[in-house]
Amino acid sequence: MIPYYNSNGITIYHGDCRALTLPERPALVLTDPPYGANERTDRASKGRGVRPKLQGGIARSKDHAPVAGDDEAFDPAHLLALKTKTILWGANYYADKLPPARCWLVWDKRDGIASDDNADCELAWTNIDAPARLFAHLWRGVCRASEVGQLVLHPTQKPVALMRWCLARAKLAPGALVYDPYMGSGPIAKACKQLGYRYIGCELVEAYCETAALGLQQEVMALA
């Protein structure tokens, strides 16, 4: 695969992660794969699904195309085969395919707000030898503890702050390589860039590759 984006240790590939040969073994696999939950993404047109509209390379529609691969059960075997530190979000949907683990990560995304029809929290499986940990960070529609006023660019997008917290749990060496085979709109890429880790991400949908690459470029411009 030819990199879609490659700058300052952050590399993005457009394609199927199973076809990607990594240049080295990553220190951490951190990703949010399709869960097999068949997430209903198009609120306005009652499930028909639409491609996110791009304005300047950023997805601007509140409705999203269906998540690629989300209509079938997810098998993490190809990620476990890397035999490295691993954090897999949404793992409660495919826990029967994972080894027992004591360090599950819990993201409390309502943080004191009353429950609604959506999940109060999300879970990540890890093979890290540590106690289970909880991260409380409000992320309920427009009510958010971070990225206030920014549009959600992917239907299952998670905050960059959550991914920074995940990276802290992994206790990586400076400049370590993080692999994200299901990149989406790139919150893990942004977290790695902010913390000085190298990153390789892969994404099937080119619109999200474009969105992530532009977001990374804008961060560089903001720091200049």
Instruction: Identify the CATH number of the domain in which residue 142 sits.
Output: 3.40.50.150
Half-sphere exposure at residue 16, Cβ-oriented, CA atoms within 13 angstroms: 4
CA distances to 9, 62, 81, 87, 129 from 123, rounded to whole Å, are: 29, 24, 21, 10, 17
CA distances to 11, 29, 198 from 188, rounded to whole Å, are: 12, 11, 11
Structure tokens at 136: 């409380």
Residue 53: its pLDDT value, please?
A: 45
Question: What is the tally of structural domains in the chain?
Answer: 1
Threshold 0.75, pTM exceeds = yes
Angle in degrees, CA 92, 96, 97, rounded to 5: 100
> Which residue bears the tokens 């198009």?
42
Q: How many residues does the chain have?
A: 224
CB 125 within 8 A of CB 91: yes
Give the chain's mean pLDDT.
Answer: 85
Separation of alpha carbons 189 and 183, rounded Å: 8
Residue 86 has pLDDT above 50, yes or no: yes
How does strand 85-89 pair with strand 121-126? Answer: antiparallel
Band (77; pLDDT cuts 50, 70, 90): very high
Residue 46 has pLDDT above 50, yes or no: no
Residue 171 has pLDDT above 70, yes or no: yes
Residue 42 has pLDDT above 60, yes or no: no
> Domain residues for 169?
5-223
